[in-house]
Structure 1
């Protein structure tokens, strides 16, 4: 019994670590975008994810004995993987542009709109049932997102950075629905293929867009950020999920945007407005409603 409680505590610690690692993405990306074009940054982040996870794949297999029973990716998954890769390329570009044209704190909070996007797409395209609590959560997050999307209420000026982030979450919402088809496959194989696929695809687009390459230092930092915030974060998320289940893991992981806001305020010195505080409060309520709705 004590061992079981101890295991659960460790799992909670692991998922909080997963959330913290992802939380570094928006504020660090905000800094990198001063030295690196947005499309190349997408490529570097995902290549860092794919290559990094591929290198530590044997270690992960050793740490997770159950992994040997995972189903490998099949040829029949090809079309779904293409959809996942394309959705992530578009989402990554939109998100980086959104971070560039808005504050890292606002972009972090708007990441919660992914819940709205995923729910709407699942209900509209896949006819999935949605509970009243989840619809309420969607409504609260939607209102908070609207607050963050309006720069000036008197002149009704829209924050295009916020709009770009919201569009990115719709792409990730579509990807979430695609990923359900791959839920029975080895998740780490999916992460590696997705990372390499999105990385190479974004790289080709950046070449066609004639983006200028950043310095070697920026390339290495971007690759490391991708490995840590996307690769290791996903690995720890999956590891925690095995011990405390999907619902509890997603509930604890929901702190990621709020950790990111703290990092943006502390390290970037971003200012917080009264409008932002209201949106933050609504996002916290919305995130709580999502967890109790699951």
Structure 2
């Protein structure tokens, strides 16, 4: 295929992560962290009147229904061409179903069980382990590249979480905390499996997870004797789920697509800080010195990640896939349909082999070996 008709291509290197696109992807990851982190103390408040499985089920059901409505509205508001989006392929289904089982069923159930016996602030801070475990799996199992600066940034973020969740000698490790750690492992597996389907519509991925995980958790809740609370509580739980589990996941998948699993997980690791901040608002108390030290440590970690510049000569192998894109340096192709020049758009396309050098992240086009 040859590339014709797009004079601005060299100035629009979206896949090469110029500063504006890179900043946008980082902001997206941090926004996902903020929404998810804020949901933790709210879940703690709801657990006083609901079973853990019921809260998890309502969270995900609210996420699935809310995003489903959003998808319908989006489709009605866009043209036929723009609203056409590729479906998840059969080869990708095992990855998606595995992600839903680990992150949509096991993870939230373990979290809710852990929250019922763990202080809200401690619970929020333990959740930083999700980013750590996500990065470890990405580096060890999926061989995603990691630079020293990125590793040090992750260490700084984790150190912040440890400072805030550390208990005095002899206090031991509460059983609830172990359940939260197990939930983090499930979500770390979920994040790495979701990377395999991240080129698909992020809203559809998050919606499917909600519509499957929600009823499963609700079925478990009802089977163990739970009953629905007042309509107001149900609405509050579903609304919290839409923001903290639905919109947050949509943003996470978008960031995953452009930053890679480990780096997205690292930014997402600051979610506990947002959770602690909200818990201090809900249950007012003067923050300890450790809170500010931990916040500074996490800020240092984010700074180390933001200033990363990974650049070297690399080769793109031939790749055929479908995703929403602009015609940048990595998308120089012709179209087998009537194309009016609208961008971004979605259609199957082929990347021909190319060797070049530029700054990049391990996104969907840069998963090469080093």
Equivalent position of 2:41 in the other structure: 27
User: Equivalents in 2 of 1:141, 1:162: separation in Å?
Assistant: 19
User: Equivalents in 2 of 1:226, 1:34: separation in Å?
Assistant: 17
Alpha carbons of structure 1 residues 207 and 243: separation in structure 2 relative to 1, 3 Å? closer
Equivalent position of 2:61 in the other structure: 47
CA contact (8 A) 2:139 2:262 kept: no
**The one of 122, 127, 146 aligned to 2:143:** 127
Equivalent position of 2:121 in the other structure: 105
Equivalent position of 1:71 in the other structure: 86
Q: Does 1:117 align with 2:133?
A: yes
Equivalent position of 1:184 in the other structure: 199
Alpha carbons of structure 1 residues 235 and 83: separation in structure 2 relative to 1, 3 Å? closer
Alpha carbons of structure 1 residues 30 and 203: separation in structure 2 relative to 1, 3 Å? same
**The one of 194, 205, 224 aligned to 2:239:** 224
User: Equivalents in 2 of 1:275, 1:93: separation in Å?
Assistant: 30
User: Equivalents in 1 of 2:29, 2:177: separation in Å?
Assistant: 27
Alpha-carbon deviation of 1:35? 0.8
Q: How many residues align?
A: 288
Equivalent position of 2:301 in the other structure: 286
Equivalent position of 2:12 in the other structure: none
SS in 2 for 1:101: coil
User: Equivalents in 2 of 1:94, 1:261: separation in Å?
Assistant: 20
Alpha carbons of structure 1 residues 208 and 69: separation in structure 2 relative to 1, 3 Å? same
Equivalent position of 1:173 in the other structure: 188
User: Equivalents in 2 of 1:127, 1:251: separation in Å?
Assistant: 16
Query: Normalized per residue, which structure has more helix?
Result: 1
Alpha-carbon deviation of 1:92? 0.7
User: Equivalents in 1 of 2:259, 2:195: separation in Å?
Assistant: 20
User: Equivalents in 2 of 1:91, 1:206: separation in Å?
Assistant: 15
User: Equivalents in 1 of 2:294, 2:20: separation in Å?
Assistant: 36
SS in 1 for 2:86: coil
Alpha-carbon deviation of 1:11? 9.2
Alpha-carbon deviation of 1:6? 11
User: Equivalents in 2 of 1:245, 1:67: separation in Å?
Assistant: 26
User: Equivalents in 2 of 1:246, 1:95: separation in Å?
Assistant: 22
TM-score between the two structures when normalised by the length of structure 1: 0.79
SS in 1 for 2:167: strand
Alpha carbons of structure 1 residues 123 and 220: separation in structure 2 relative to 1, 3 Å? same
SS in 1 for 2:48: coil
CA RMSD of aligned residues (A): 3.8
User: Equivalents in 1 of 2:21, 2:148: separation in Å?
Assistant: 33
Structure 1 unpaired stretches of 5+: none
CA contact (8 A) 1:25 1:229 kept: yes
CA contact (8 A) 2:195 2:257 kept: no
Alpha-carbon deviation of 1:56? 1.9
Alpha carbons of structure 1 residues 289 and 103: separation in structure 2 relative to 1, 3 Å? farther
Q: Does 1:93 align with 2:148?
A: no
SS in 2 for 1:151: coil
